[in-house]
A and B are shown apart, each in its own frame.
Chain A
């Protein structure tokens, strides 16, 4: 370890330092070096001891929470592929097929995203920050499996450049970058992001065809158009349904939520209140289903409120997207309101929006814009309390 560090310090570092051949690429070297070694920086001002946590570990914990969803997503892609083709396949075959489809998306996401981040850091002469580590994993997990890789790349580029770097980089963005990537893909290439062609890979080998009666629609798509679905609530809970790669299994999302809540890195306040918000909207729909304008919508509105949370990306969005501390509400009280309205709007949009059955993306992006307003009012309450105290004092005197 010491030898490796000495090698880096003595042989490599000088090239990147002031006056070195590659000085312009200093942020790249620094990024790699600090990835390998936590630097021996000591506290120079203020407190002399510091907490053992840093942003790298924080981000890493979120990635850990996402891993079960990623692995399950790979298997699920293969599973649905072979069912569509009517071909028997072993668990490993299903998993490997899925991995071959999904891993390139992960590679493209990290490659393009980190590449752009490095580029910006080199141009600005900043240190590389860790923000993209989580976004890079989230983006492939919320894409349909059939999306071309170049679209993933473009979406990532949009998210990194327009979603983050123009605001100043990690910690400065106002929208969740991963969701921006999805929103970009959705509005730019709608035929690749919705409908019933994209969720299951039906690329056929020679002499094969998809089985008769195959429908590639997601459970949520079914519900939105017909009011019913062939997938049971248990299927949806376990995640054996078509959908974006990582979002189908509520069970595994809950496992991730467990890790995030336990470590304190994801806000339980946001998650809890989003579930309450979703349940409230679901219940309202249950009550008013009889007034629906069409039988399909009536059936959709009548879906038991708790089942609404099993379909689509609701759980995934609530646990991994809504809890983004940068784009979400930052005051503890504000987090309750922020989460509640995310849940509420997610279910409302999904039921009422005829163009798009998934509401969580728009709900979170909308609440991203509202988060500063929520915080503003929470903070104003504190300010008013202080002003009232002063007024009382002055009156008393």
Chain B
């Protein structure tokens, strides 16, 4: 019997598939013709939701459902991370950037028939912000609220008040540049206060919002059924009568189900299936815009990587194009900067270090290592697949071979995932490593600050990269509210990162979706989930 337990654990460990958590994306604009619509859309995805109240979850699968059931004050424009009005029609910002006044849309109703108004907005924000709120139920934590608007002792939002039924005023304790960007995140979907009061802790499995679809039924690990919201505030939308989201963990099985017509659309197609998909006229491929970065990081506190010259030299020794062809089935683009090119603030003029072993060797000699490095270095390669890196170990082996040609010997190690992250954080065992990041919201700060700022050493700044110059720019950008100004600061920051080379940025991978050919109007979002409002199936 113990053997049984052991085997089941081993079997499980062996089959932990390629799952995406919070993911990201690119649009292939499907032309919208005459809006037919109606009927049921069945979507297949890799995992189930944890809970249906977006405020208490942090995982991508849960937010995908919330996206259909809830609206946020602001939203992202289809297929981008640009902010646009949603439940808030317009807003004004005071000169000191401490007061935001939102004008709300009129006549919007929650699915339970109650009115959406300023009081509802206040109710929701108070629920998230007040740690002693009676609507914070056993086991709940509002992690995203805390991480976007600061922990309890250091909140960005000082107060939220309703001045009349359609006006809400946010007072801030300090300016926050990505404030609007943050409000558009799905986790800040506005819920019906009456439903929360009535349902209490059960709200997390009976969500009520104002969104395009109304929650109907949840069969755990199986399917979630949503019906069309007949009173949706956007005229004539949504187009489908019903959406059923099924969880089908295995990528190949999900693809089989799509080919068999049991589902209309699937997420996370494995690159291996791309060829058969493209050969099948009954199906179509949909690209999500890339919104992640995979990188090879140098531990900048250790010799010889404390010397930027060595890091730059090694940048010349990585063949990104080759890696993409071999391990991503071409579904990725070489990374030049730490942020994906779909994100605003991306610096197009930064040039990448090309793959050139002779040059790498020469630069290494210039740095004082004419015969290569004498010691063998420890290269950490990820033991688990991630959306941005399907097979870290194989990628590491290819890089290892390139490095060897310029006299740099590395031994690859892949400890268990939790240990791996712990070791990177501490920065004592590894010399160089592979890891990546998927953006949470559409703000560049969400890449630069956690990954490279000196404040994040001991957190996600695994390179232990410590640059005053860079830090000053990032902090300045955090306090600036003008996006054009911020963009300039981030562009400068990218120049510094390129020069200091704490990383070899590897790739921005493009997550793939597949659907039957008749599915139209689907525009995937970089943030990893989108509402199926405009999707329809051509009859």
A and B from one complex: no
